[in-house]
Chain A
Amino acid sequence: MADDYPKVDRVMGGPAGWISIAFPAVLFLYFLGLLPQIVTGPQVHGIDWVPSLGIRLSVLLDGLSMTFALLITGIGTAVTLYSARYLGQHPDYPRFVCYLLMFMVGMLGLVLADNMISLFVFWEVTTIASYLLIGFNADSAKSRRSALQALLLTGTGGLVMLGGMIILGNVAGTFELSQILEMGDMVRAHPWYMGILLLFLAGAFTKSAQVPFHFWLPNAMAAPTPVSAYLHSATMVKAGVYLMARMNPALGSTEAWFWILTIFGGITAVLASVMALRQTDIKQTLAYTTLMALGSLTMFIGAGTHYAIVAAMTFLVVHSLYKAALFLMIGIVDHATGTRDATMLRGLRKAMPLTGLAAALAAVSMAGIPPMVGFVGKEFMYKAGLGLDGFGAIWVTAMIFAASAMMFVTGGIVALKPFAGDLAETPTPAHEGPWPMLAGPLVLGGLSLFFGLVPGVLGHYLVGPATHAVEGEVHEVHLYLWGGVNTALILSLLTFLAGWLLYRSHESIRARLIAFEARSPIDFDAGWDRLLDGFKAVAGWQTRLIQTGSLQRYMAVTFASFVVLVGGTYLVKGAFGAGLGLTTASVHPVQWTVLALIAVGSILVVWTHSRMTAVAAMGVVGIGVSLIFIMFSAPDVAITQLLVEVLVVVLVSLAMLRLPYLPRRSKASFRPGHALIAGGVGVVTTFLTISVLGSPFDRRLTTFFEAASYPEAHGRNIVNVILVDFRALDTFGEITVVAMAALAALALLRGTAPRKEEN
C-alpha cells in the first residue's frame, strides 16, 4: 500500500465522501422499497427523448434489473463507505468520487434502461468511467496502459454491439426492450438473427471478459482496491452478463446461442481457474476467480434451462456478495501489512480478528461450503448441469466441477492461509482495520450466511423475479439449502475432496504453472501490444500515403474527384442531354455585356501577374455579379454584393501593402494538368447548372413565404422577412460566424508569437 501521497486532512473524505456514501445508500433504500411491487411483475416507465428516432428514456423495472440495481447500490454503499476511509485523505479523492458516482449512475442506467439506445449510452458511460477509475493512479505507466486497454477493448465491443442493436431495432420495429423481448420467435426466425447475435455477443464478451478478450480484467487490478471490488462484483463485468440475461428471451434458446455461450463460458471458467492458482498476489488470484465466475454465468445463461437460469441468477448474487467482501478484505490486509503476496502472509487472525471473520464468511461461501449461500448456488449449478441433454450435460458439469474445485482452492489461498498458522513478518506490523472499512466486508459476509440459512427469502424476492425476467415466463422458484442425498450433493462432496487435495499441493502446482507459462508461446497481453503496434504501423503508412502535406495536391485530388464522380455519374446516367432546350434567343445586349464582363474579368485574374490588376479584375467580376442580381429582381442581394465587393477590394489592397508580389509569368508557370482539372470542373458545373435550370421547379416553399410574409410576419420585403423572422435562427448562426471570423482574424493579426521560429 503506497501511503506516500501528500495527505489532505479530511474526515471521512469531507463533503465529497458524505455525498458519495449517501447517494447509493438512499437509492438502495428506494429500490428496496420498490421490491414488493416488482415481485408481482415488471414495470415500464419512460419519457420520450428523441421521438423522431424512436429513442426513449424509459425504465424497465423487473426482477433482473431490480436484482442488479440492489447489488449496484448496496455494494456501492459498502464501497463508498470503504473508500472514504481508504482514500479519503488522498489529494484527488473528490475526483475519485466523481468517477465512482459517474460509474454508478452509468451502471444503474444500463440495467434500468428499457430503450436499447439509452442502454448503449449508459454502457459507454460505464466504459469511460471505468477507464478513468482504472487509470486513477495516473502517475503509473502500468495504470495508464491497463486503463487504455480496458477502454479500447470494451469500447470497441460496445460499438459492435450498437450495430447489433440497430439491426435488431429495425428487425423488430422498435427499440424498446420490453416490446422486443416479446417478439423472440420472430427475431430468432429472422435471416439476420445470426448477425445480430454475434454483434451482441461481441459487446457482452468484451465487457464480461470472456476468452479471448479476458486479459484486460486482471490488468484492471491497477485500479484502487475499492474500485476493483466494485468492478468485479456488482458492476462493469456483470454488464455483459446482464446483457446476455436480458436478451435471453429475444435471442436465446437456439443451437448457436447454446453452443457459443457454453463453450466460451466453459473455457473462460477453466482457464481462469488455472491462472488463479498461478498467481502469488492474492488480488490477482481474486481477479482470475472473477473471470471464472463470469465464465460460469455465461455458460448457464447459454444453457438456458429453467434450472440453469435459476443457478445463474443465484450465483450472480452469491458471487457479488463474496467477491466484494473478499476484495475489500484484501484492501484492509494490504493496508495493514503492506503486502498482498500470498507467500508472505501468515497467521493474521490474532492481529485482525474481524477482518479474518469477514474473510472466512466470504471465502466459505466462495468455496461452496454449507451453510453459506455459495453452497446453494453450487447445488443449483450441478442440478442445472445434470439436467442438460447429451454432450451439453457432460461439458457443463465437468466445467462446473473443475471451476468449483478451483474456487475451493482459491478460497483457501486468499482467506485461510493468510490468517492461519503463526504470524509471519510483514513490511508493516499487522493491525485491525478501522470500522468504515470493516463494515462492508462484514455485512456482505453476514448476508452470505443469512441467505444460506434462509434461501427462501433470496428465492422469493430476487432470484424468482429475475429468473422470470430472463426466461420471459413465470415459474415458481424454490431455493433450498438441503435437497436430500442426490447426485448434486455427491458431486459437491467430490468437489470438496478434489479441492482439498489441490489446496494441499497448490504451491508446487503454482511453481509448475509459472514454469509452464514462461515456455508457453501464447500470451494474450503481448498479442494485444502487437495488435496496437500493427494498428499504428498501418496508420503511419496510410498517413504517409494520403497526407503528403502539399495543399496543392489535396486541392487537385479534391477537384479531380469532383470531376470524376459528378461527371462520371452524368455519363453513366446519360444526363448530359438534360436541359439543353434552353435558348439564347431572348438575351438582351446588356445581359450579353454583363456576362462578358464577368468572364473576361475572371480570365484576367488568372492571366495577370500584377496583384493590383488581379484585385481590380476581381472587382469587375463582383460588380458584374451584382449587376446580374439587379437585372433579375434581387435588389437586396445586389446592394449587399456591391458593398462586400468594395470591402474585399479594400481589405485585399491593404494586405497587399505588406505581402510579396506575385511571381512573374513564364512558360514554366503554366500547369497543363491543373488546367485540365480546372476545365473539367468548369464543364461539369456548367452542365450541372443547365440541368438544374432545365428541370421543373418546385415553388412550394416560396409560395408559403409569399403568402405568410405580410399577414403573419407583418413585412413587405419578403427577403428580409425570411432573414429576420422565418429563418431567424439561421441568421443568428450566420452573424455568429461573422463575429467569430472577425475575432479569430483579430487574434491572428494581433498574435504576439515570435516573428520567425528558429529550429
Chain B
Amino acid sequence: MQSLILTTTTRLLAALLLMFSVYALLRGHNLPGGGFIGGLIGATAFILYTIATSEIEARRALRVGPSNIAVVGLGIAGLAGLSAGLAGEPFFTGQWLFLFAEDGGKGLPLSTVLVFDIGVYLAVFGGILTLVFALEEEI
C-alpha cells in the first residue's frame, strides 16, 4: 500500500501531529491536554507514518526502541516523584520553581509536576507504539 501522495502528506502530517502532541503536553496543566493526551497524539503520528510507509520505516524514524521509551518514561515519572524527598517532603509532592516571577504573576513555572507529566507522555507514547509495532511486525 505505497501511495506517493499518502506518503508525502503523511510526513508533513506526522510532523505536525508530533509538534501538536508536545504542545498538548506542555499546556496541559492549565488547559485541556496533558501527558496522556500528548502521548496518545504522538503515538497516532507514528502509527499514521507506519500505515503510510512501513513498520521498519517508522522504527527507523523513531531511532529508539519504543519499549525503551516506555520504560524511560516510567523512570522519569518515578524520579520526579522521588525528587520531593530531596526537599524532605513526602513522595510525589510537587516542587516548583518560578523563573522571572513578578508581583502577582507566576512567571515561567518549572516544576517536578511537569517532569512527571513528561514521564507519563513517554510511557503512554512508548507503550502504545510497542504494541502497534509488535502487531504490525507479526502481520
Q: Are A640 and B40 in contact, CB atoms less than 8 angstroms apart?
A: yes
Q: Check B131 against A713 for contact (C-beta < 8 Å).
A: no
In the complex, whether A600 has a CB less than 8 A from a CB of chain B is no
Kindly list chain A residues whose C-beta atoms are within 8 Å of the C-beta of B96: 714
**Pair A729/B81 contact, Cβ less than 8 Å:** yes
Instruction: Write out the residue numbers on chain A whose beta carbons fall within 8 Å of the beta carbon of B35.
Output: 723-724
Q: Which residue of A lies closest to B138 (CB)?
A: A749
**Are B120 and A749 in contact, CB atoms less than 8 angstroms apart?**
no
- Chain B residue numbers with a CB within 8 Å of A732 are 77-78, 81, 92, 116
A interface size (C-beta, 8 A) = 40
Please, what's the 1-or-0 string for B11-55, where 1 marks a CB less than 8 Å from any CB in chain A?
000000000000000001111111111001101100100010000
User: Which A559-591 residues have a C-beta within 8 angstroms of B?
Assistant: none
Q: How far is the CB of B49 from chain A (nearest CB, A)?
A: 12
Chain A CB within 10 A, most for which of B71, B130, B137: B130
Q: Which residue of B lies closest to A745 (CB)?
A: B131
Closest-CB distance, A563 to chain B (whole angstroms): 34
B7 CB-CB contact with A under 8 Å? no
CA distance A635 to B116 in the complex (A): 21
From residue B20, how far is it (CB to closest CB) to chain A in Å? 11
Q: How near does chain B come to A619, taking the closest CB pair, in angstroms?
A: 15
Q: Is A725 an interface residue (CB 8 A)?
A: yes
- Give complex CA distance A596, B33 in Å: 29
| Cβ–Cβ contact B81 & A654, under 8 A | no
Given contacts A724-B113, A738-B124, contact A746 B92 (CB under 8 A): no
Inter-chain CA distance A512–B30, complex, in Å, is 92
Does the CB pair A741–B127 fall under 8 Å?
yes
**Contact A717 B28, CB 8 Å, known A724-B120, A725-B94, A735-B123:** yes
> Among A441-449, A503-511, A644-652, which stretch is in contact with chain B?
A644-652
Whether A739 pairs with B123 at a CB distance below 8 angstroms is: yes
Q: Mark A712-727, 1 if CB is under 8 A from B, else 0.
A: 0111110111011100
**Among candidates A650, A719, A735, residue contacting B77 with C-beta atoms closer than 8 Å:** A735
- Is the C-beta of A593 less than 8 angstroms from some C-beta in chain B? no
CB neighbours of B126 from chain A (8 A): 739, 742
Query: Is there contact, CB below 8 Å, between B74 and A736?
Result: yes
- Contact check: which of B29, B91, B94, B131 meets A651 at CB < 8 Å? B131
Known: A651-B135, A732-B77, A742-B127. Contact between A725 and B28, CB under 8 A?
A: no
Chain A, residues 627-667, CB within 8 Å of chain B (1/0): the string is 00000000110011001101100110011011000000000
When C-beta atoms are compared, the residue in chain B nearest to A712 turns out to be B94
Contact (Cβ within 8 A) A643 B73: no
Chain B contacts for A742, CB-based, 8 A: 66-67, 70, 126-128, 130-131
Contact B43 A739 (CB under 8 A): no
Q: Are A723 and B34 in contact, with the CB atoms below 8 A?
A: yes
- Closest chain A residue, CB of each to CB of B36: A640
Q: Are A643 and B41 CB-contacts (below 8 A) given A723-B34, A728-B81, A735-B124?
A: yes
State in angstroms the CA–CA spacing of A733 and B130 once bound together: 19
Query: Which of A639, A651, A724, A729 is packed against the most chain B CB atoms within 10 Å?
Result: A724
Residues from chain B with Cβ under 8 Å of A655 in the complex:
135, 139
Q: How far is the CA of A728 from the CA of B84 in the complex (A)?
A: 12
Find chain A residues with CB under 8 A from B138 CB: 658, 749-750
Most buried by A among B73, B106, B109, B138: B138
A689 located at the interface, meaning its Cβ lies under 8 Å from any Cβ of chain B in the complex: no
Which chain B residues border A647 with CB–CB below 8 Å? 40, 43-44, 47, 128, 132
Given the contacts A729-B81, A743-B130, A716 and B92 also touching, CB distance less than 8 Å: no
In the complex formed, the residue of B with least CB distance to A639 is: B37
Complex formed: what's the CA distance from A720 to B113 in Å? 10
A43 sits at the interface (CB 8 A) = no
Contact A716 B120 (CB under 8 A): no
User: Which residues of chain B have C-beta atoms less than 8 A from A745's C-beta?
Assistant: 130-131, 134-135
Known A-B contacts A725-B94, A743-B130; A713 and B113 likewise in contact (beta carbons under 8 Å): yes
Interface flag for B8 (CB, 8 Å): no
CA distance A746 to B113 in the complex (A): 30
Interface residue? B136 (CB, 8 A)? yes
B111: interface (CB < 8 Å)? yes
Are B127 and A739 closer than 8 Å at their CB atoms? yes
Which of A714, A717, A731, A738 is B111 in contact with, Cβ under 8 Å? Answer: A714
* Assembled-state Cα–Cα distance A36/B131 (Å): 68
Choose one: A717, A728, A735, A741; the contact of B92 (CB below 8 Å): A728
Query: Which of B37, B51, B71 is A739 in contact with, Cβ under 8 Å?
Result: B71
Complexed CA–CA distance, A657 and B92 (Å): 44
A739–B40 alpha-carbon span in the complex (Å)? 13
Task: Write out the residue numbers on chain A whose beta carbons fall within 8 Å of the beta carbon of B137.
Answer: 749
Knowing A729-B92, A735-B74, the reply to whether A635 touches B127 (Cβ < 8 A) is: no
Which residue of B has the minimal Cβ distance to A746? B134
CA–CA, A715 and B66, complex, Å? 30
A715 to B137, CA, bound (A): 41
A717–B32 CB distance below 8 A? yes
* Neighbouring B residues of A725 by C-beta, 8 Å: 92, 94, 113
CB-based nearest B residue for A735 = B123
Residues in B whose Cβ lies below 8 Å from that of A750: 134, 138
The CA-CA distance from A735 to B132 in the complex, in Å, is: 17
Which residues on the B side are within 8 Å of A723 (C-beta)? 34-36, 120
B123 contacts which chain A residues (CB < 8 A)?
735-736, 738-739
Given contacts A640-B36, A742-B130, A745-B131, contact A724 B73 (CB under 8 A): no
Over the window 94-128 of chain B, the binary record of Cβ atoms lying under 8 Å from chain A Cβ atoms (1 yes, 0 no) is 10100000000010010101001101100110111
* A739 CA to B132 CA, complexed, in Å: 13
Which residues in A have their C-beta under 8 angstroms from that of B139? 654-655, 657-658
* Contact residues in A for B73 (Cβ distance below 8 Å): 735, 739
State how many angstroms separate the Cβ of A218 from the closest Cβ of chain B: 52
Within 8 A of B (CB), among A581-628: none
Which residues of chain B are near A739, meaning CB under 8 Å? 70-71, 73-74, 123, 126-127
Pairwise interchain contact A717-B30, C-beta atoms closer than 8 A: yes
B109 near A714 with CB under 8 A, answer yes
Given A639-B37, A728-B81, does the pair A654, B113 have CB atoms closer than 8 Å? no
Q: Are A644 and B40 in contact (CB under 8 A)?
A: yes
Q: What's the Cα separation between A639 and B41 when bound, in Å?
A: 9
User: In the complex, what residues of A have CB within 8 A of residue B40's CB?
Assistant: 640, 643-644, 647
A749: which of B32, B106, B135 is its contact (CB, 8 Å)?
A: B135
User: In whole angstroms, how far apart are the Cα atoms of A720 and B121 in the complex?
Assistant: 13
CA distance A658 to B136 in the complex (A): 11
- Across the interface, name the chain B residue whose C-beta is closest to A656: B139
Please encode chain A, from 665 to 695, with 1 for each CB lying within 8 Å of some chain B CB and 0 for all others: 0000000000000000000000000000000
Is there contact, CB below 8 Å, between A729 and B91? yes
| CB of B54 to closest CB in A, whole Å | 13
Query: Which residue of chain A is the closest to B129 with respect to CB atoms?
Result: A742
**With a CB–CB cut-off of 8 A, which chain A residues contact B109?**
714
What's the Cα separation between A711 and B99 when bound, in Å? 17
B130 touches A746 (CB 8 A): yes
| Contact (A724, B127) CB under 8 Å given A636-B37, A643-B44, A750-B134 | no
A643 contacts B130, CB within 8 Å? no
Write out the residue numbers on chain A whose beta carbons fall within 8 Å of the beta carbon of B94: 713-714, 725, 728
Q: Is the Cβ of A651 less than 8 Å from the Cβ of B132?
A: yes
Kindly state the separation between the CA atoms of A738 and B128 in the bound complex, as whole angstroms.
8
Evaluate contact between B32 and A716: CB separation under 8 angstroms: no
Supply 10 further A-B pairs (C-beta < 8 A) apart from A732-B78, A745-B130: A651-B135, A732-B92, A735-B77, A735-B119, A735-B123, A738-B128, A739-B127, A746-B67, A746-B131, A749-B135
Point out residues on B near A: beta carbons under 8 Å: 28-37, 40-41, 43-44, 47, 51, 66-67, 70-71, 73-74, 77-78, 81, 91-92, 94, 96, 106, 109, 111, 113, 116-117, 119-120, 123-124, 126-128, 130-132, 134-139
Between-chain CB contacts (< 8 Å), 28 pairs: A636-B32, A636-B33, A636-B34, A636-B37, A640-B40, A647-B132, A650-B132, A654-B135, A655-B135, A716-B31, A717-B34, A720-B117, A721-B29, A723-B36, A724-B117, A725-B92, A728-B116, A729-B91, A732-B81, A735-B74, A735-B123, A736-B74, A739-B70, A739-B71, A739-B74, A742-B66, A749-B137, A749-B138
